[in-house]
A and B are shown apart, each in its own frame.
Chain A
Amino acid sequence: MSRPFGKLSYAVLCAALAILAATGIGTFALGKAPMTHWVLMAHVAVAPLFALGLAAVALTWADLCRGGAPSPLNIPARVLLWVILLCGLVVVLSGVVPMTPLCGTDGQHFLYLTHRYAAIVLTAAVLLHWPALARRK
C-alpha cells in the first residue's frame, strides 16, 4: 500500500462516517427518524465522500488484509477491514438504489432498513477497528 494515500483514505472514510453516523444514527437514536431538512442534506452531501473514501480504502488496504499476506496488521484488524468493506458496500448501495426507479415501496422500505442496520454494524466495525489497528502484530 501507498502508506500516505492509505492513511488519507482511511481518514476520509472515518471523517465522513462520523458525520453520516451523527446525522443518520443520531437521528434514529433520538427517535426522530427519518432524517429531514438540513440533517438529510448534510447526510446526502457527505455520502459521496464516504463512498470515495471506502473505494480508496478498498484499493489501498485490501492487499494488506488478505489471508496469508505479510502484513503488520493483526488478525482482528484484517477481519474487521473486510467487514467494513462489505458493510460499506451494502450501505452505499442501499443508499443510492432507492434514488433509482428500481424498487417499489416494499423494496424501498427493505433498503431503508438495510441501510440503517448495515450502517450501525459498519460504525461498530470502524470503532472496533481503531483499537485493533493500535495493537500491531
Chain B
Amino acid sequence: MAFLFWRRRRLPLLALLACQLCCVPHRSGAEDNYTESRAPFLHNIPLHDAQGRLITPPDLLSEEGKPQEPKASPYSPAQTCGKCHDYEAISQGWHFNADVGTVKPGRPGEPWILTDPPTHTQIPLSYRGWPGTFKPSDLGLTDYEFLTNFARHFPGGGVAEPDKINAGDREMGRMLITGKMEIDCMVCHQSAGRYDHEARFNALKAEEFRWAPAIAASLGVFSSSRSAASIADSWRPGRPPPSTLPAIKYNRACFDPANNVLFQVSRRPRVANCYYCHTSQTELGDARWHSDLDVHLKAGLLCVDCHRNGLDHAIVRGYEGEAKDRSISDTMIALRTALLRRDNAALSDDAARDLARRQLQSEAGTIETLTCRGCHTSGRLGSPPLLHKGLPPIHFAKLSCAACHSGPFPAPQPQVVHTSLAHKLGLPAHTRGQNTAPVILEPVFLRGADGKIAPFKMVWPSFWARLNGTNLTPILPADAAKTVTLPQPSGDDAARDPYQTRPLTDAQIQQALESFPADHSKGDPVFIAAGKIYRVDKGVLSSREFPAAKPYAWALAHDVRPAAQALGARGCADCHAGDSPIYFATVAAKGPVEAKDGLRRQMWQMRGDDKTVASFFAFTFHFRPLLKTIVFAAAFVVLGVLLHYGLRGLGAIAAWLGGAGKEQP
C-alpha cells in the first residue's frame, strides 16, 4: 500500500504554513511520497475542507475564557485523502465512472432500480446503457434526482460530483449549498467497523452531501437544526448561495493535540464493507441464519483478493473475457508515463506514453487469472485444482462455472432474492418479505454473451407510461402519483403491509388507466408490469407481451457453493432429468399485478432451447446404467479374447525361442 509520510506532529507554525499552501484547492497530483511497504501506514492525519484548508476546531475556551463549540467546516475526502492518494485517478474507478461515456459498459450488471410501491413502479436504471435498463435521462430523471433516490448506496464521485455547478439549474444548483457528493473513501476503506451507514443515509436524505463523510465517520454531527435540503429549498436558482453554511460540530476526542485524526483504514477493504452494497440474500428475514455464505469467504479470502484494483480503482469484475472490456484511463497512462520518464530520462514523451499504454494493457490481460477458471487452473491463492471427475469436457463449453457453483441450489422455481441496492439492505427498516418491491428472482439460467448457460438475477420493469405508436414514455413515480388514480391502502394495511405489496387487480389497473387525462397527442396510457403491457381499448382492459416489458437480467456469481454442493455433484440427473431445474424450472414473471394470467416460462424457453431434445436427452439417462453395463461387459469380453490370444502368441514365441535354443548344442 502506498502511504504518504504525512507529518503528523507538525508545529503550529508549520500548520499555519501548510494551511496557507493548501488554500488553493487541488484534486489531483497527490504528493509523491509513499511508504510502499506491506505494513500499513498509520493514518493519523490532518483534516482538510473542500477548499483545501486545514480543519482546526476552536479550542475549548476562547481567549476571553468563554466556552467554544468545536465547529468547523466539514472535512473533504478529496482534499484530505487526496493529499497523498491521487483522487483524480481514483475517480476513474468502476464504482464512479458509470456516466463516463468512453468507459465500456462490460457485462450487464446490477442496475439501480427506481422503486416506488405506492405507484407500483420499478424501473431498472443504469448510466452504462446496459440493454434492458433505462438511462436516468431517458426517463427525465436528473442526476440530482438520481442522487436523492440512490445516494444511500452510492459511494460518491461521478454524477454526484460534477465539474461545474450551474447556479441557474434548479436542481444541480442546490449543490452550491448541499455540496458535491465526493467519493467517501471510508465507505470502503474504514477498517474499524465504526462507519455509520445509517447516519450517512440520514445525512444524504437531508441532502447534506458535503457533511455526510464527517457524520458517517462519527467525527461529528451537523450543527444546524435546519437541514441542508431545507436551506436549499429557500434558495432561488441564479442567486448566490448563503455566505455561511452550517458547520460540523466535531467530536473533540477525535483530534489529538496536533489536530490530527486517526483513520483506521485498510487498503484491502473488509468483507463487511463490500457487503453494505453487495449483499444478496435469498434466505429472507429470520431465515438468514441458514445461509452458508460464500465458500471463499469461509476459506478466509476477502472480496478484494479476486476483485482487485490498482490506484485507478478499476475493480476486476471477474468474468471471463473482461480484459477486452476494460478501459485504460488517460490519467493512468499519464501517471505511468511520468514514472517511466523518471526512470529513463532518454524516453521521449510519446515513446513513454506508448510504452505506458502497452504496459497497462499487458497488466490488464493478467486479470483473466482472477476469474474462477483462471484462479483454479493457475493455483493462485492456494485455490484447489479443478477435478470435475466424471464430468465430460463438453460441459465446460456449454456452462459457465457459476452455472453449477453459484447462487442458491436450483429449485423448481427460482427464489426471491433481496439485494442491498434494490432493497436498501444495510439500513434499518420493516422486515422485507417475498413480495417487497422490487421482486427479483434467482437463479434463472440463461445464455450469456459467450453462449454459455449461466445463472442470472431477473427483474421485470413496472411503470405507468404513455404509448404513442411504438414510442413508450415512462411516467416517473412523482408524476404518476399526481396523474393516476390508484387504490389507497387503509390505515390497517399501511401498518400491516408497509411495503404495499398487495397486487393490482385488473379492475384497479383499468380504473387507473382510465383516470389518465385524455391527451391522445401524448399517446395512450398504458401500464407495464410482469412482462406485459396493459391498456384499455373501448372500455376493455387487455394485456399482451411487449418488448419494453421484458425482464432485465444480470449474471450472478455469488455465493459460491463448494464442489460437494455443486450442480451435478449428486449425479447427472441434477441436470439431465425430466424435472431438472436448469431446463424445466418455471419462471413466473413477477410484478405488482395478480399472477393469475401472468407470464410463465420454463428455463428452456427462456433460453430458446428445444424442449424435445432436452426431454429426450434426459429420458436417455434412464438407460445410462444399462449402456454402461453392456459396454463394460463387451469390453471385458474383447479384452479377454485379446489377452487369451495375446498370451497364447507369447507362449508360442517363448516355445519357439526355447526350441531354437535346444537345437543348438
| A contact residues vs B (CB 8 Å cutoff) | 34, 36-38, 40-41, 44-45, 47-48, 51-52, 54-55, 58-59, 62, 66-68, 82, 85-86, 88-89, 92-93, 95-96, 98-105, 108-109, 112
Please measure, in the bound complex, the distance between the C-alpha atom of A85 and the C-alpha atom of B644, giving whole angstroms. 13
B391 within 8 A of A: yes
> Which of A48, A62, A104 contacts B641, CB < 8 Å?
A62
Q: How far is the CA of A109 from the CA of B102 in the complex (A)?
A: 42
Question: Is B386's CB under 8 angstroms from A85's CB?
Answer: no
B202 within 8 A of A: no
Q: Which residues of A contact B289 (CB under 8 A)?
A: none
| Contact call A47/B616, Cβ cutoff below 8 A | no
Question: B427 in the interface, Cβ–Cβ < 8 Å?
Answer: no
The smallest C-beta distance from B318 to any residue of chain A, in angstroms, reads: 21
Q: Mark B624-665, 1 if CB is under 8 A from A, else 0.
A: 101110111111011101101100110010000000000000
Task: List chain B residues, Cβ under 8 A from A66.
Answer: 645, 648-649
In the complex, chain B residues whose CB is within 8 Å of the CB of A85: 638, 641-642
Taking the closest CB of chain B, its distance from the CB of A106, in whole angstroms, is 9
Residue of A48, A55, A89, A104 touching B386 (CB-CB under 8 A): A104
* Contact string against A for B residues 29-45, beta-carbon threshold 8 Å, 1 for contact and 0 otherwise: 00000000000000000
A51/B628 contact (C-beta < 8 A), A67-B649, A104-B386 known: no
Q: Given A45-B620, A55-B637 in contact, is the A108-B388 Cβ separation under 8 Å?
A: yes
B390 touches A100 (CB 8 A): yes
A99–B395 Cα gap in the complex (Å)?
Answer: 13
- What 1/0 mask marks residues of chain B from 458 to 487 whose CB sits below 8 Å from any chain A CB? 000000000000000000000000000000
Q: Which residue, of A45, A62, A95, has the highest number of chain B Cβ atoms within 10 A? A: A62
Supposing A37-B613, A96-B628, A100-B628 touch, asked if A89 and B642 sit within 8 A by C-beta, the answer is yes
Q: Does B363 contact A (CB under 8 A)?
A: no
Query: Is the C-beta of B564 less than 8 angstroms from some C-beta in chain A?
Result: no
Binding site for A on B (CB under 8 A): 386-394, 396-397, 610, 613, 616-617, 620, 624, 626-628, 630-635, 637-639, 641-642, 644-645, 648-649, 652
Point out the residues of chain A lying under 8 angstroms from B613, CB to CB: 37-38
Q: From the candidates A68, A95, A112, name the one contacting B631 in the complex (CB within 8 A).
A: A95
Main secondary structure of the interface of B (DSSP, over half): helix
Q: What A residues does B394 contact at CB under 8 A?
A: 34, 36
Are the CB atoms of B393 and A92 closer together than 8 Å? no
A105 CA to B377 CA in the complex, in Å?
A: 11
28 A-B contacts, Cβ less than 8 Å apart?
A: A34-B397, A36-B394, A37-B613, A40-B617, A41-B616, A41-B617, A41-B620, A44-B627, A45-B620, A51-B630, A51-B631, A52-B630, A52-B634, A54-B638, A55-B638, A62-B641, A68-B652, A82-B642, A85-B638, A96-B628, A96-B635, A99-B392, A100-B628, A102-B390, A103-B389, A108-B388, A108-B391, A112-B393
Q: Looking at the complex, which one of A34, A48, A86, A98 makes contact with B642 (CB distance below 8 Å)?
A: A86
In the complex the two chains form, what is the Cα distance from A59 to B626 in whole Å? 22
Contacts A92-B631, A99-B628, A104-B386 given; does A59 touch B637 at CB 8 Å: yes
* B616: chain A residues within 8 A (beta carbon): 41
Considering the chains assembled together, what is the distance between the CA atoms of A62 and B631 in angstroms? 19
Residues of B within 8 A of A86 (CB): 642
Nearest CB in chain A: distance from B621 CB, A? 10
- Cβ-closest 3 pairs across A and B: A51-B634, A101-B390, A55-B634
Residues B632 and A105 in contact, CB atoms below 8 Å apart = no
Give the distance to chain B from A39, nearest Cβ to Cβ, in Å: 10
In addition to A59-B637, A66-B645, 5 A-B residue pairs with Cβ atoms within 8 Å of each other are: A36-B394, A47-B631, A55-B638, A101-B390, A102-B389
Contacts of A48 in B (CB 8 A): 626-627, 630-631, 634
Distance in angstroms between the alpha carbons of A54 and B388 in the assembled complex: 31
Min distance, Cβ B370 to any Cβ of chain A, angstroms: 20
